[in-house]
Structure 1
């Protein structure tokens, strides 16, 4: 989809290029603007609204660069809520898509999941929809990131995910993370060649003329 290709361009082509000669990661001011704007226009489109009555919930892994703290809030389906004081680059990227974020450790789970959404995560979706989201993503993450989601002990009250965690169990299903990284670069360079480079000026003008609505994302992170 356009989202996958432009996202891979942003993270696998643009960021490495602008940070190549810098002493630390350099984030352009307009990073994620094009992707976020296109995503919001997609949600507003007749094509989306004819098929779906609710906005999507995107569920992914928490960030390995941040620390999460358990709260007293507990939801019967989503589980125990975690919070963090400093949002990640991914959180900011999703904010430009008009999405807010909350983190919950599901019952029986090992680590919190990050949920990106518009509206009310706890009130806009049925129990079955939430269970389906958790089941799908937790199963995938146990395979993709077993160091985090298949640890032998659940996340502590103060938790920072680590991909070098040693106390975890491997699943019997292999996932080649290096292959996925290479695919991201291929898709990113494809987007650069066929979209960003030939049409970059026109796309920049379009984004400037049609700024994304960040109100759903809860303001600046």
Structure 2
């Protein structure tokens, strides 16, 4: 059985010189931008978009006071089994933000999280979910869908490895779901913007819920669509305005590149909003991005997780997950 689960964290600067390592997940937004002949210009354009959006939200008239630095946070999961040495598997990749004030030289910590990538999540959504539907003859979500991933992620947030490096819980910021309709609540936050709500949670919302994260949806000033913010503590209290601006500027930029039909639409979301990738009234960014390739890579990496992590260790990991629940109770 699994006797212990620990984590090893490494960081890699994400700038115009970034080149994905062999161990980096190829489906991450940042890895997709850093391939091909135009990779350097791609990265430069994306980083410039982030800085411009940050200074716009920070209400800097010159739009050049702040610069955003990004580091990729790679998390490897280590686990020992009875009679065997430790094994290691690439678990999660996120982004850590640092805000640099060009005027004062001050460097301020931003939010960790932002983008979220996981081999096990690729397995759950790209391998296990389609297999369950094929076996049943109709779409079906297994009762324990996301349980193992969620418990591993919460174990990571409570680990010494996380707490030694990061003072605050992560915030994951991604696109809203194209399968849900959102409506404005009337609440407007000075940084996050107009809040939206939906009548029922999406499968992604439920999945992040098993990771111990709640969700709220906000459309910042000047945005075309709301973003989904997944968080553990209090989104409105735990983070400074500049920290929230860093996350918005970074992840809205990625979504403009990845889903321009939604986040670079020429008309902003109204009081009632249903996102769609069939929207024709949008502008493309000056950043090349292969969305179809990203979907294909998710399947490849899901297979990798199945072959090298899930299948060889399924029984022991399930037992570990049950033991974790028993301890919590």
Cα deviation for residue 171 of structure 1 reads 1.2
Answer whether contact 1:105 1:111 (CA < 8 A) is retained.
Answer: yes
Residue pairs, 1:43-192, within 5 angstroms: 43-192=157-306
SS of residue matched to 2:188: strand
Cα deviation for residue 22 of structure 1 reads 3.6
Cα distance in structure 2, aligned partners of 1:119 and 1:61: 20
Cα distance in structure 2, aligned partners of 1:127 and 1:76: 9
- Matched with 1:218 is none
Structure 1 stretches of at least 4 aligned residues deviating more than 6 Å after TM superposition: none
Cα distance in structure 1, aligned partners of 2:297 and 2:251: 21
- Matched with 2:133 is 19
Cα deviation for residue 145 of structure 1 reads 0.0
- Matched with 2:323 is 209
Q: Which has the higher contact order (CA 8 A, sep 6+)?
A: 1
Cα distance in structure 2, aligned partners of 1:212 and 1:23: 35
SS of residue matched to 1:174: coil
TM-score (ref. length: structure 1): 0.94
SS of residue matched to 2:132: helix
Higher gyration radius (CA): 2
Cα distance in structure 1, aligned partners of 2:127 and 2:196: 32
Cα deviation for residue 213 of structure 1 reads 10
Cα distance in structure 2, aligned partners of 1:147 and 1:70: 20
Structure having the higher strand fraction is: 2
Cα distance in structure 2, aligned partners of 1:139 and 1:187: 25
Cα distance in structure 2, aligned partners of 1:22 and 1:169: 41
- Matched with 1:31 is 145
Cα deviation for residue 173 of structure 1 reads 1.2
- CA distance change for structure 1 residues 13 and 140 in 2, over 3 Å: closer, same or farther? same
Cα distance in structure 2, aligned partners of 1:154 and 1:212: 47
- Residue 2 in structure 1 maps to residue 91 in structure 2: yes
**Which residue, out of 277, 291, 313, partners 1:199?**
313
Cα distance in structure 2, aligned partners of 1:74 and 1:34: 36
- Matched with 2:155 is 41
Structure having the higher helix fraction is: 1
Answer whether contact 1:71 1:82 (CA < 8 A) is retained.
Answer: yes
Q: How many residues align?
A: 214
SS of residue matched to 1:60: strand
Structure 2 runs not aligned, ≥5 long:
1-89, 93-117
Cα deviation for residue 182 of structure 1 reads 1.3
- CA distance change for structure 1 residues 34 and 178 in 2, over 3 Å: closer, same or farther? same
SS of residue matched to 1:2: strand
Structure 1 runs not aligned, ≥5 long:
215-221
Answer whether contact 1:36 1:212 (CA < 8 A) is retained.
Answer: no
- Matched with 2:102 is none
SS of residue matched to 1:197: helix
Cα deviation for residue 21 of structure 1 reads 4.2
After superposition, what is the alpha-carbon deviation per residue over 1:24-56, rounded to whole angstroms, capped at 9, x for unaligned?
Answer: 321000000111000000001101001111000
